[in-house]
Every structure is written in C-alpha cells, then in structure tokens.
Amino acid sequence: MEKLVSYTIKTPLGKISIRVEEGLPACITFAGEEAICEAGQSPPPPAVEELIKAMKTYFSGGEVDSSMAEALIAYIDVTPFEEAVFREVAGIPPGKTASYGEVAEMAGHPRAARAVGNVMHSNPFPIIIPCHRVIKSDGSLGGYGGSEHIKAWLLDFEGAKDGR
C-alpha cells in the first residue's frame, strides 16, 4: 500500500493541502483539516502539479478552467447523482451562486435539495468544484465544510453580492 502524501500551498486563507493517493489528487483540505500524511517530494505528480497551478490561478484572481473539475470528478468514486451535482456546481461561474434546490433541479432531481447539501458537504475538491457557490434558497450561506467564514470569504473574493 502506497503511503499518503500531501502537498501544501499558501493562500490568503492559510495553508491548503492537496492529499495524493496513487499519484492522483484525492482531496483538498483547509488548514486544520489535514489528514496525517507525509509531505510530498518535489516535483509533484503531473495531475497534482496542474491542481496546484489551478489553485494559484484562483487565488491570484483568475478563473480555473472547468476541465480541471471534470478531471477531478473522474478521479473519485461517485454515484451518478453525485457526479451530476458536481458537474452542475462546477458550472456556476465565479461571483454567482445557486441554491441547493436550483442545483438539484439542474442535476435532474428537483426534489433533492437536501441531498445536494449532503453532496456539497462531502465535496473532496472545494474551490475547484465550487461548493461555496451553493447557498440556501433564502440567500443565506448555509453550511460549508471549511467553515462559513471561509465560504463568506470566498464569495466576497469572487465579488458575489447579496448571496446571489
């Protein structure tokens, strides 16, 4: 069994770690959420290097190419529902938001808003699959795995106004 390794990048939110399994990105974690992993050696595997570049682009104010989310979705074991939700969320542009119910409807499951919330809570690739852009139908933030403070910061960073 291969040992778990992670690569850490510095961001305005603190350190963010990318955990790697079998040479592929397995998840992104915020400071304080890191799994016990050995620090990765340079250079990182190509897929991880691409993810690091995407994160740096994001935190420099640039847009992350949607193909990055598509690639990451392919690396994880998901149900068809989870895949549909992740794909819809990946399509929400920076500075915009959608409610859990709207995402459920876009994913073809209009009565599954709560299930969308569960999928967002377990999103292994926050920021790239921008679960912070999914909010409650009343315009309030709702939960966020990294903390509501981080969700609010990310939406503000992207220029989202009034939650919508």
Told to judge if 27 belongs to the known catalytic residues of this protein, a careful annotator would answer: no
| CA 157 – CA 164 distance, rounded (Å) | 14
Q: Which position among 28, 52, 131, 154 bears the catalytic label?
A: 131
Tell me which DSSP letter residue 45 carries: P
Residue with tokens 């990294």: 146
How is residue 144 written in tokens? 């966020």
Residue 79: left if φ>0, alpha if ψ -120 to 50, beta else—which one? beta
Tell me which DSSP letter residue 18 carries: E
Catalytic positions are: 131
